[in-house]
Amino acid sequence: MTTPSRRTLLAMAAAAPAVVAANASAQTPAALAALTSNRAAIVTGSSRGIGAATARRLARDGYAVTVNYLTNAELASAVVRDIEAAGGRAIARQGDVADPAAVRALFDACEDTFGGVDVVVSNAGIMNTAPMGQFTDEAFDRMMSTNLKGSFNVLREAARRTRDGGRIIALSSTSMTQKRPTHGPYAATKSAQEMLCGSLAKEVAGRRISVNALAPGPTNTDLFRVPPALRQQAAEATPYGRIGEPEDVADSIAALCAPDGQWINGQLVFANGGFF
């Protein structure tokens, strides 16, 4: 077998984006499914909320999905059942993202079942709020180990195992820009996602992997359990006149994962309907 010359290799590399662009321009559901048919995604914290909507959406786009949860096994199974009923492929795996061994096992499960990892969405998160003077050590430590150490564990494994051409996305939050009373520690964990993703985007240079932090605004999930007045205030601060649904955020994540999304890289992307 002859080894391709350097010139041939350069020509092949130059042609690759054109092939991707041609594929992307034919982005019918069938074309997208064909592009993603052998590709697999891991979504942490996908038993409910934004993660569950993202798992369903990525499955609809053709990804085989590994659904992760902490305690809600039945909800995670329901997400898998929904995906399978729609003709997709999915598995559910329990695992605390704060535990590096559990995160490694999650990636093992995805690789063993689906042959590799192409998309990683570091979504699992909790929100503990209190005035700083009243914040307990336990609430602070739990949130740091889930949101910061947990996301680090996931991004570290993603750096090691995501296949070339993949996507890595970590959930940040618009709250990081707002400096709201009681939200300081939570917002700190979310602004950290921008830093982690910005560095990682450069570390995976040459592998055509985009890495972005995505910051939703107020979204209708268990995490955003607030008094009706505050909910109304959030809706009024959004030009669309409503807070987000998990599917709105899942759509934005899917856009980053689509072939057309490849050029958005190393960014903090606000997906909040214009909430300010």
Ligand X SMILES: NC(=O)c1ccc[n+]([C@@H]2O[C@H](COP(=O)([O-])OP(=O)(O)OC[C@H]3O[C@@H](n4cnc5c(N)ncnc54)[C@H](OP(=O)(O)O)[C@@H]3O)[C@@H](O)[C@H]2O)c1
Q: Which residues are catalytic?
A: 172-173, 186, 190
Residue 91 Cβ vs ligand X, minimum distance, rounded to whole Å: 15
Residue 263 Cβ vs ligand X, minimum distance, rounded to whole Å: 24
**Residue 9 tokens, joined:** 């290799």
Question: Among residues 70 and 209, whose Cβ is nearest to ligand X?
Answer: 70
Residue 22 Cβ vs ligand X, minimum distance, rounded to whole Å: 34
Question: Among residues 90 and 127, whose Cβ is nearest to ligand X?
Answer: 127
- Indicate left, alpha or beta for 208 from its phi (over 0: left) and psi (-120 to 50: alpha): left
Question: Among residues 24 and 130, whose Cβ is nearest to ligand X?
Answer: 130
How many residues are given for the chain?
Answer: 276
* 3-class SS of residue 94: strand
CB half-sphere exposure, 262, CA atoms < 13 A:
16
Burial of 154-178, coded b for 16+ CB within 10 Å and e otherwise, reads bbebbbebbbeebbbbbbbbbbbbe
- Could you tell me the end-to-end alpha-carbon distance of the chain, in angstroms, rounded to an integer? 60
Residue 239, C-beta contacts closer than 8 angstroms, at least 6 positions apart: 273, 274
The Cα angle at residue 270 between residues 26 and 17, in degrees rounded to 5: 30
Question: Among residues 123 and 265, whose Cβ is nearest to ligand X?
Answer: 123
CA distance linking residue 112 with residue 24, whole number of Å: 29
Question: Among residues 33 and 235, whose Cβ is nearest to ligand X?
Answer: 235
In the chain, the amino acid numbered 72 is N
Q: If you compute the radius of gyration of the chain from its CA atoms, what whole number of angstroms results?
A: 19
Question: Footprint of ligand X on this chain (CB under 6 A)?
Answer: 44-51, 68-72, 75, 96-98, 123-127, 146, 150, 171, 173, 216, 218-219, 221-224
Residue 130 Cβ vs ligand X, minimum distance, rounded to whole Å: 16
Per the CB < 8 A criterion, the answer to whether 11 and 242 are in contact is no
Residue 181 Cβ vs ligand X, minimum distance, rounded to whole Å: 17
